[in-house]
Amino acid sequence: MYKTIVPLTLAMALSMPSLADEASVKKAVEGKLGGAVTSVTKTPYLGLYEVYVDGQIVYTDEKVSALLLGALIDGKTMKNVTDGRMQKLTAIKFADLPLALAVKQVRGDGKRVLATFEDPNCGYCKKMAREIAKLDNVTIYTFLYPILSPDSLEKSNQIWCAADKAKAWNDWMIDGKAPGGKGDCDTTAVKKSVETGRKLAINGTPTIFFADGERIPGAVPLAKIEQKLMQAQSPAR
């Protein structure tokens, strides 16, 4: 199940002298939150600064008198500004993914490409697996990302150790047939997949990456997956 770990709203009153620029805002926020700030951008809304820190967007004013977490909505267009920015800020270079660590499936000509991070005990992952099973002419890289329970790790190891990893994955996720292997082979790939997911600040499953680098968390309807696959340019497989 995709888990939201960030509270929707947080306001923290702070007493700070006036801050003149983005560098000062960056330094002040790092001092208060203790995390490394990736970027600070002045927004056109209410004098707020967008601060990207520890994989999330925080809004603050030039004095850092308050920190706000949550969705910023454009009052004219009613578009979720925060969602749009997160898509850009969390995008990756697809070719940098360690694809050798993933369970690979090729269907049809395999020209369209996507990668997923999934927990074998994630209900939303199972729902999405049934949707993805309908795709054709696609290459799917599934990174085993057991973050929900010790049993998730056991099942991931069993799937990785199966003679046919893709079949073992689909048998479990789609048909509910438990993997029969012992999970006693070299499962370094599973451990490294978890490490990769942590580095990418993946806090819930499923999380999908498309060939253009865009990240979409949560179960995605088949129509949206098809739309994204059509838009994205597929890298060399």
Residues of the domain holding 75 = 22-89
The answer on pLDDT for 80 being more than 70 is yes
The reply to whether 14 falls in a domain is no
Listed residues 89, 108, 128: the one ending a domain = 89
Q: Among 89, 105, 127, where does a domain finish?
A: 89
Reported as a single tens digit per residue, the pLDDT across 81-136 is 998 898 888 889 999 999 999 999 999 999 999 999 999 999 999 999 999 999 99
| Domain end marker among 66, 89, 112 | 89
Residue 50 lies in a domain: yes
* CATH number of the domain within which 79 lies: 3.10.450.70
Question: For residue range 186-202, what is the model confidence (pLDDT) as tens digits?
Answer: 999 999 999 999 999 89
Report CA-CA distances (Å) from 86 to 38, 139, 161, 179, 233: 13, 25, 36, 36, 20
Residue 15, domain member (yes or no): no
Q: Supply the pLDDT for residue 54.
A: 84
Is 237 domain-assigned? no
Tell me, yes or no, whether 4 lies in a domain.
Answer: no
Flag whether 128 is in a domain.
yes
> CA-CA distance, 40 to 64, in Å (whole number)?
12
Assess contact for 27 and 41: CB atoms under 8 A: no
Number of domains in the chain: 2
Q: What is the pLDDT of residues 11-63, one digit of tens each?
A: 443 444 444 589 999 999 999 998 889 999 999 999 999 999 988 899 999 99
Q: Is 236 a member of any domain?
A: no
Is 213 part of any domain? yes
Asked if 51 and 163 sit in the same domain, the reply is no
Task: Give, in order, the Cα–Cα distances in Å from 209 to each of 121, 157, 177, 230.
Answer: 20, 23, 27, 14
DSSP-derived secondary structure letter, 96:
G
Predicted TM-score (pTM) of the model is: 0.76
**Judgement on whether residues 188 and 122 belong to the same structural domain of the protein:** yes
CA angle at residue 136 from 192 to 190, to 5 degrees?
A: 10
